[in-house]
Amino acid sequence: MSKDEVQSVLHWREEKDQAFKGHFASPIPENMRGQFSGLNYYPVNPSYRLLCRLNKYPNPASVMMMTSTGEEREYLKVGHFSFIIGGKTHTLHAYKDLRQEASEKESLFIPFRDSTSGIETYEASRYLEIEETKEGEFLVDFNKAYNPFCAYTDTYSCPLPPRENWLEVEIKAGERKYIE
């Protein structure tokens, strides 16, 4: 991971912190934004930045994901990524949000849990949103793993990762548990 790539992750985090502090749609309750000093992150770690090929499903299936408020939300399960962390091969399934506007840049949504969930990171899940870098290759950068908005307030309904996206390894990268 180059110095520029590390700086890019740090800049992304800074922008997110600024938005959470001052943007009208911030999930941080308005009365707490004045004392908000930023989110908690693991140090940027190059070993959690993986270039992966998407193993596309020939017939992507429509699936329903439960949300933090008990609702169901529809996604298209388009494929999966396999990668090695901690000497073991792991798999995460990737989804497209069927509510995403066609004009928006298409990204893949990867909700996941790992062995840090509920201990060092938000208990329900963390998310990755990734875009294709080359034909069939995606940068799965756990340094950009983030908490859903429901980690900060119960006014949001957030998709919960299906069991198949529960990793049995610690992902010590990205956003940590929010502490008020």
Helix (H, G, I), strand (E, B) or coil at 17: helix
Number of H helices, E strands in the chain: 1, 8
Distance, CA of 16 to CA of 14 (rounded, Å): 5
Distance CA 5, CA 153 (A): 31
Instruction: Give the per-residue pLDDT at 103.
Output: 44
By DSSP bridging, strand 72-85 and strand 88-97 are antiparallel
Q: Collapse the DSSP code of 76 into the 3-class scheme (helix H, G, I; strand E, B; otherwise coil) and give the result.
A: strand
| 41 in Cβ contact with 16 (< 8 Å) | no
Distance from C-alpha of 52 to C-alpha of 137, rounded to nearest angstrom: 6
Render each residue's pLDDT in the chain as its tens digit; 180 residues. 788 889 999 999 999 999 999 888 889 888 888 888 889 999 999 999 999 999 999 999 999 999 999 999 999 999 999 999 999 999 999 999 887 665 455 789 999 999 999 999 999 999 999 988 877 689 999 999 999 999 998 889 999 999 999 999 999 999 999 875
The span from the CA of 139 to the CA of 112, in Å, is: 16
Do 106 and 99 form a contact (C-beta atoms < 8 A)?
no
The rounded distance, in Å, linking the Cα atoms of 85 and 37 is 32
| Residue partners of 21: CB distance under 8 A and separation at least 6 | 28, 33, 36, 38
Supply the pLDDT for residue 111: 98
* Residue pair 67/100 in contact by the 8 Å Cβ criterion: no
